[in-house]
Amino acid sequence: MDGAYDDRDGKIWMDGELLDWRDAKVHVLTHGLHYASSVFEGERCYDGKIFKGHEHSLRLIESGRLLDMPVPYSAEELDAAKAALLKANDLSNAYIRALAWRGSGPDMGVSARRNPISVAIAAWEWGSYYGDAKWQGAKLDISSWKRPDPDTIPAAAKAAGLYMICTMSKHAAEAKGCSDALFYDWEGYVAEATGANIFFVKDGEIHTPLADRFLDGITRQTVIAMLKDSGRVVHERRIRPEELAEFSECWLTGTAAEITPVGQIGEHHFQVGQITRDVSDAYEALVRS
């Protein structure tokens, strides 16, 4: 599917209806546009089946709760809407974006309790998020921004406003010829990329930042379970930047990123090694099982 995202053929599910793609619109005074009162999910459908679709529906609802923005649909209703959307668009392999936001209403200040909450779901064909880096190893910049203290933001929510520094950091990284950027947290520990969690290998064991101060991705949780089931040792812990030189392999995980090997972070280089390839192959088999 080519062209601008507001000018395409197909259907979008919006507040209980399947609308023509170009008719799925909101007013300029939508609260979510002004105050980032919105949450979203990214999901992938493989061979007609959404991978962990119900978990994504539950997380959308939980993200809304964390923003004091109750999503007006159950997880089961969201699941049904996604299935209807895929059927309407004749898609069996697709990326799915579900979004809930505070719409236009009688309030147009910071407080907007009287404004309705809307939900929309779109789906389209989308290949590798990182392009050729999916196979060759992504090159990451180190962001000048830090992931903030969870006492200042709802870090467990997949909320639109939390991605502002992600967009800025990715733009800066791309200007340097990189695919993405690595964040440190506010205390200086390794955190995550702009839209993916990160894993490292040292002496055959896996190390990944403890996800208590940024989003604990569904793909991250899946990969940790896979690794443990295969007998691999996984350490979820604080990782210091100076440790980057000690790791031999590195990869990113996320619904869009899937399993993407990392070849370089700043001055540090990694091999696309056997463990990374094994994890990628196992994940590919799992999502299509």
Q: CA-based diameter of the chain, in Å?
A: 59
As a whole number of angstroms, the distance between CA 254 and CA 124 comes to 17
As a whole number of angstroms, the distance between CA 104 and CA 114 comes to 9
Fold (CATH) for 133-287: D-amino Acid Aminotransferase; Chain A, domain 2 (3.20.10)
The domain segmentation of the chain, as residue ranges, is: 11-124, 133-287
Task: Find the mean pLDDT for residues 86-95.
Answer: 98
Other beta carbons within 10 angstroms of residue 260's beta carbon come to 27
Catalytic residue selected from 52, 134, 158, 170: 158
Q: Is residue 2 pLDDT above 70, yes or no?
A: no
Other beta carbons within 10 angstroms of residue 201's beta carbon come to 21
The CATH number fitting domain 11-124, selected from 3.30.70.141, 2.40.160.60, 3.40.720.10, 3.30.470.10: 3.30.470.10
As a whole number of angstroms, the distance between CA 246 and CA 186 comes to 22
Nearest to 216 by CA among 198, 239, 231: 198
pLDDT of residue 3: 81
Q: What does the angle CA 200 – CA 205 – CA 210 come to, to the nearest 5 degrees?
A: 55
Other beta carbons within 10 angstroms of residue 285's beta carbon come to 10
pLDDT, mean over the chain: 96
Across the chain, where does the E strand assignment appear? 11-14, 17-20, 38-46, 49-50, 94-102, 117-124, 138-147, 180-185, 190-193, 197-202, 205-209, 234-237, 249-254, 258-265, 268-269
pLDDT digits (tens, 9 = 90+) for 240-282: 999 999 999 999 999 999 999 999 999 999 999 999 999 999 9
Q: DSSP string covering 50-101, please?
A: ETTHHHHHHHHHHHHHHTT---SS-HHHHHHHHHHHHHHHT-SSEEEEEEEE
Q: Report yes or no: 188 and 245 within 8 Å, Cβ to Cβ.
A: no
As a whole number of angstroms, the distance between CA 58 and CA 76 comes to 9
Q: Report yes or no: 177 and 266 within 8 Å, Cβ to Cβ.
A: no
pLDDT digits (tens, 9 = 90+) for 159-210: 999 999 999 999 999 999 999 999 999 999 999 999 999 999 999 999 999 9
Residues contacting residue 89 through CB under 8 Å, at least 6 positions apart: 10, 11, 123
pLDDT of residue 208: 98
pTM of the model: 0.95
Q: Report yes or no: 12 and 120 within 8 Å, Cβ to Cβ.
A: yes
Q: Report yes or no: 41 and 105 within 8 Å, Cβ to Cβ.
A: no
Q: Look up 158 and say whether it is catalytic.
A: yes
User: Tokens representing 90?
Assistant: 């004749």
Binned at pLDDT 50, 70 and 90, residue 1 comes out as low
pLDDT digits (tens, 9 = 90+) for 112-164: 999 999 999 999 998 888 877 777 899 999 999 999 999 999 999 999 999 99
pLDDT of residue 233: 98
CA dihedral 187, 193, 196, 197 (to 10 degrees): -40
